Structure 1
Amino acid sequence: MTSSPVSRVVYNGKRNSSPRSPSSSEIFTPAHEENVRFIYEAWQGVERDLRSQMSGSERGLVEEYVEKVPNPSLKTFKPIDLSDLKRRNTQDAKKS
């Protein structure tokens, strides 16, 4: 059995300066639009609940998930601050 090359997407840290807008060749099906609307509305609900919880008007609507038994292979995992990474990449791009 021979293996064929597998294509993969590689992020090089560079982006266009303007946000990507749908081209006329992109067609969004009604199912796609329904999925996007569902995710958007669900996320708006989470943000609304989080704001309510932070303002103290309600408690316990948003809860952080913590595993009861941590996975030992993730012991050395270091979370990445995406905001900080984006800020550093932006600063590096300006220096170039």
Structure 2
Amino acid sequence: MTSSPVSRVVYNGKRNSSPRSPSNSSEIFTPAHEENVRFIYEAWQCVERDLRSQMAGGERGLVEEYVEKIPNPSLKAFKPVDLSDLKRRNTQDAKKS
């Protein structure tokens, strides 16, 4: 069995006081990372497609939305985040600076 070096992110308890600038934040993605993202994206697309077809046909299939029978009272004020909107706003803010 051959061992290859594996990088790990370790939190040392210190915070960087200066914010990262968008110009210095170029990220390098490994092929494995890109493959994982592609897998998750494609799997989610299948779930959404199956859910839409079930809703259109009124049938019950493999995809089922989970709904709690007794809602958690501490989540009463929870408001879902629209990730697409958040990303759009962050992109616009980065362009302004």
TM-score normalized by structure 2?
Answer: 0.46
Cα separation, partners in 2 of 1:54 and 1:6, compared to 1, 3 Å: same
| Contact 2:50-2:63 at 8 Å conserved across structures | yes
Deviation at 1:86, TM superposition (A): 0.4
| Contact 1:13-1:89 at 8 Å conserved across structures | no
Identity %: 94
Deviation at 1:75, TM superposition (A): 1.0
Cα deviations across residues 17-41 of structure 1 (Å, max 9, x unaligned)?
9999999999999999999998678
> Larger RCO: Structure 1 or Structure 2 (Cα < 8 Å, ≥ 6 residues apart)?
2
| Count of residues paired in the alignment | 96
Cα deviations across residues 9-61 of structure 1 (Å, max 9, x unaligned)?
89999999999999999999999999999867865652452353255385544
Unaligned residue ranges in structure 1 (runs of 5+): none
| Contact 1:46-1:62 at 8 Å conserved across structures | yes
How far apart, in 1, do the equivalents of 2:2 and 2:32 lie?
38
TM-score normalized by structure 1?
Answer: 0.46
Cα separation, partners in 2 of 1:51 and 1:75, compared to 1, 3 Å: closer
